[in-house]
A and B are shown apart, each in its own frame.
Chain A
Amino acid sequence: MIPTEPIGSIPRPLELIEAVARIGHGTPEVERFYDEAVRDTIARFEATGSPVVTDGEQRKYHNFWTYCVHGLPNTDPEGFKIPFASGHIRRMPRLTAGPFRYASYADRYLVVAQRYARVPVKQAVISPSALSLLYPAHGLPGYSREQFIDDLLGEHEIEVRRCLELGAHVVQIDFTEGRFAVKLDPSGELLTTLIELNNLALARFTSEERKLLGVHTCPGGDRGSTHSADVDYAELLPSLLRLDVTNFYVALAGEPDRRRVLKILRQYLKPGQRIFVGVVSPIDPRVETPEEVRDRIIEAADYIPLDQLGTTDDCGFAPFSDDTSTTRDTAFAKIRARIEGTALAARALGVA
């Protein structure tokens, strides 16, 4: 058997998007739209035959990155701008005062999803390295960077532990800024810093706990576009695999030269690590066929030992809550292709 897991996000139902736009996030009236969205997402997820599901991040507002700080009184919207290849920009919030605490933890999504799900549920959380960019360049009076980093690591640990305690199948740490960091600093120093920070966070868990943790990296995916696909994976992967974690979710389907990426993975893969390679691409509007997926897996199996190989989606299908570039139907069709293609590959490789 080849394990297969989703990355996380599924485009929100249009009714939900409209309701949030109309009524506003966080209002009691919008709750039933969220509940319905989660219920429907999990039902459709399970209908694909997926052995592991997520809540499609239906409740993460406004996105995979800022959900945990949304609404914090000590932030303003004047944070960094992340430019996407298609020309649009996403802007991050900025911390205005200490101390830094999460506004909410992802376990509150997990507990709802588990209520509806009949199969294991995995939960994605944002990496500490991504949140580290909240601290402003000019510093904050009375709240040093050191204090901030301490608080950040503490909050991240709390979030992961709460998800583990609820029985998350896996807690996936979204590290999509990794490749973006190489784009910002081709010297690799910035990436090293981010990896270091994430390793500091991971060090707070036991080796047994780290078997239930994973890290996801991709070139970003929003409105059918990426933020760092132009950065060579060769710059990222060797550092990424230094993360002290068991599971890696690596976008691969959308790469122009998959074999080159696979060679790098083979070179840096360590015993005990498992690589979930992306076999469907959310930013590609075309739905892959199961046979296509199968062939991609067989290709990957040339480089990665089968007992260290898994499959996933290249990225979430809608990391930002208002992204409607991909339909829910397409997302689930792609997921179904991944599930079926993975099963075909397992049979072809004799591990069904």
Chain B
Amino acid sequence: MLMDEADDEEELMRTVALQNAHAILVARQRADEELRSTKAALEEETRLLELLNRTGSLLASNLNLEVVVQSVTDAGKELSGAEFGAFFYTMTDDTGGVFTLFTLSGAPREAFEHFGHPRSTPLFAPTFAGDGVIRSGNVKEDPRYGQWAPHHGMPAGHLPVCSYLAAPVISRSGATLGGLFFGHSTPNVFSERTERMIVGLAAQAAVAIDNARLFDAARRAAASERAARAEAERVGLMKDEFLATLSHELRTPLNAVLGWAEILLARATAGSEGQRGLETIVRNARAQAQMIEDLLDMNRIVSGKIRLDVQPADLAAVITSAVDAVRPSADAKSIRLRTVLDPFAGPVSGDPQRLQQVVWNLLSNAVKFTPKGGKIDILLARVNSHTEITVIDSGIGIAPEFLPHLFERFRQADSTTTRSYKGLGLGLSIVKQLVELHGGTVRAESHGQGHGTTFVVNLPLRVVREKTDRTHPTASPIALRPDIPLSLSGITVLVIDDEIDAREMVRCVLLGADASVLTAASADEGLNLVRAHHPDVVVSDIGMPDKDGYQMIRELRALPATEGGRTPAIALTAFARSEDRTRSLLAGYQVHVAKPIEPQELVVTIGSVTGRTAVSFGG
């Protein structure tokens, strides 16, 4: 090849290649356009996906029906590219009546309001019947729907519609919940893909609406349950309040009766008729006080307000105390009380006072239903890992058919018995509740009427035996030694009570213990006396008109120490519930003593809060 030829060849090749440059540039532009359109399509796709995702999340998380249907309508309009969309959905009212509501997107509500529910035309009916999707490129020319001019299947005055897409919303149960409708004034807007997306949206909508309706139903049910529970609580509270009030009202006069009877009894001539009369008054007043106590106890137990002061409890001591308490009444009926206590029965964990109440209740019950000359045995023994307290009487026994109901509240064997044997029928129920609170059981056995009854209390043993048992914190050594003569000599006590009987009774008790006594008939009067006389201790009622004992003690505590702000104070009240006690201690009292009071207990308590020890009492 000659050089010239080679040069020509190269020149030609260069020319061709450079001619191609233009074509390449065109290709580049086209590629760029394609890229742009692909990018735009991708962005649109992303937007739709995000919309679907967002709508899906909203539908999955939102249980508000109005929000759900509006979101579905908005999302459907966006997804389909429609000019406007509507969601007609059916609702059922409380009476079972069905009605239709609708939401709109892209059109004002007025544009649809005067049409009412879409008519049952070939265009609309299939959607409400749940008969699949209808998609028409131009509904005006579609022979299936638009053959009737001038409106072509649309009501007169309807927004202009060419492209039409409608999908039923069908619940999981198969019921048609409503229909999604989309329109556009230009033809062929809705593609097959649009249709698929709207069908998907309708399925999501159905689930969301189902969920919202279920949630609504559940919420209504919960609301009515809440209301019922609140009502029950309100009734329960009213009952508690009623019992508290009742006990207060019963205790207040009883307090005076018992107090005065005991004072008079102490002064009565031994063996006189007056003494016997006073003893009867005291015994009956105490019995009544016990009944009130039982009522309150039962109320505390059933309302879960009872609190056990659990500690190692010596059951032998508990039983001995209970036996001592009932011995007088047993003696009165010539009933032989025999106690057999196993020294190795072992301690249990429990509240000694409550356990004593259990034993006392069983013994009282036995005494009550055992005729004169009968016998009652009380046994304490260890049986396997339990301790058993057994009370066996030779009393009237229990009919087999009544045994299962023995521990129910307010139940006594029959009306005849009710008349023959007084009481509220709460004692055994309290026993059962208290024993169960201790993790134990109680059962009754009887071979029938006339063959006596056996009660067996089963209590779990304490797992660890402590070296030294604690004594009950409320059990003062003084209280356990009632024989010690008590003196409040040199102590000035201010008694505040609006009830003159109660006030005088307390005054009399305290004077009997050599105290100096000041009395006030109201809180304000009491506060003035505190400032004026600096008493050593204040004993105050709680329920007083104008200013109650709580307010009084708060004001007292607000005083400087020099004016008596730190004077020890005892709440003496017929408000005997544990929450009353807590409230009075929180208000500023040192001690809460429930009416009716035992004179000796009051004196001991006053001695205790003023720092008098047993020895000094003895002095």
Contact = CB atoms under 8 A, between A and B. Distances in A.
B28 interface: yes
Interface size class of A (residues with CB under 8 A): 20 to 34
B17 A193 contact: yes
Interface in B18-43: 18-28, 30-31, 35
A241 interface: no
A133 B26 contact: no
Interface in A126-174: 132-133, 135-137, 144-146, 148-150, 153
A189 B23 CA distance: 14
A74 to B, nearest CB: 17
A181 B17 CA distance: 9
Nearest to B20: A132
Nearest to A181: B17
Interface stretch (A7-15, A21-29, A110-118, A196-204): A196-204
Contacts of B28: 196, 200
Interface string A203-225: 10000000000000000000000
A83 B27 contact: no
Contacts of B25: 196
Given A89-B1, A185-B18, A200-B31, A193 B12 contact: no
A203 B23 CA distance: 17
A153 B16 contact: no
A135 B27 CA distance: 15
Given A146-B27, A149-B27, A80 B13 contact: yes
A185 B12 CA distance: 11
A150 B27 contact: yes
B17 A185 contact: yes
Given A81-B1, A137-B16, A150-B30, 18 more contacts: A83-B6, A83-B10, A132-B17, A132-B20, A133-B17, A136-B16, A145-B20, A146-B27, A149-B20, A184-B14, A184-B17, A185-B14, A189-B18, A193-B24, A196-B24, A196-B25, A197-B24, A197-B27
A137 B12 contact: yes
Interface in A41-100: 80-81, 83, 87, 89
B88 to A, nearest CB: 46
B21 A193 contact: yes
B61 interface: no
Contacts of B15: 137
A77 to B, nearest CB: 14
A331 interface: no
A145 B18 contact: no
A194 interface: yes
B26 A149 contact: yes
B20 A197 contact: yes
A190 interface: yes
B1 A193 contact: no
A116 B582 CA distance: 95
B9 interface: yes
Q: Give the interface SS of chain A, mostly helix, strand, loop or mixed.
A: helix
A149 B23 CA distance: 7
A196 B32 CA distance: 13
Contacts of A185: 14, 17-18
Mostly, the B contact residues are: helix
B352 to A, nearest CB: 82
Contacts of A197: 20, 24, 27
A190 B20 CA distance: 9
Interface size class of chain B, counting residues whose CB lies under 8 Å from the partner chain: 20 to 34
A144 B24 CA distance: 12
A198 to B, nearest CB: 10
A285 B40 CA distance: 56
Which 4 A-B residue pairings sit nearest by Cβ, starting from the closest? A145-B23, A193-B21, A149-B23, A137-B16
Contacts of B27: 146, 149-150, 153, 197, 200
B22 A145 contact: yes
Contacts of B1: 81, 83, 87, 89
Nearest to B23: A145
Query: In the complex, which of the residues B20, B22, B28 has the most CB atoms of chain A within 10 Å of its own CB atom?
Result: B20
Contacts of B9: 80-81, 83
A193 B15 CA distance: 12
Contact of B16 (A81, A133, A196): A133
Nearest to B1: A89
A87 B3 CA distance: 11
B18 A190 contact: yes
Contacts of B17: 132-133, 181, 184-185, 190, 193-194
A189 B21 CA distance: 9
A149 B16 contact: no
Interface string B160-201: 000000000000000000000000000000000000000000
Most buried by A among B13, B14, B31, B35: B13
11 contacts: A80-B9, A83-B9, A132-B17, A132-B20, A133-B13, A146-B27, A149-B23, A181-B17, A184-B13, A197-B27, A200-B24
A78 to B, nearest CB: 11
B7 to A, nearest CB: 10
B65 to A, nearest CB: 45
Contacts of A89: 1
Nearest to B13: A80
B115 to A, nearest CB: 52
A80 B13 CA distance: 7
A193 B18 contact: yes
Nearest to A196: B24
A89 B19 CA distance: 24
Contacts of A137: 12, 15-16, 19
Contacts of A194: 17
A323 to B, nearest CB: 19
Contacts of B22: 145
Contacts of B13: 80, 133, 184
Nearest to A136: B16
A135 B16 contact: yes
A189 B14 CA distance: 10
Contacts of B30: 150
A83 B8 CA distance: 12
A184 B28 CA distance: 23
Interface in B522-551: none
A130 to B, nearest CB: 10
Nearest to B8: A81
Nearest to B6: A83
A147 B12 CA distance: 21
B6 A135 contact: no
B290 to A, nearest CB: 91
A83 B23 CA distance: 26
A196 B6 CA distance: 27
A134 to B, nearest CB: 9
A183 B16 CA distance: 15
Nearest to A94: B16
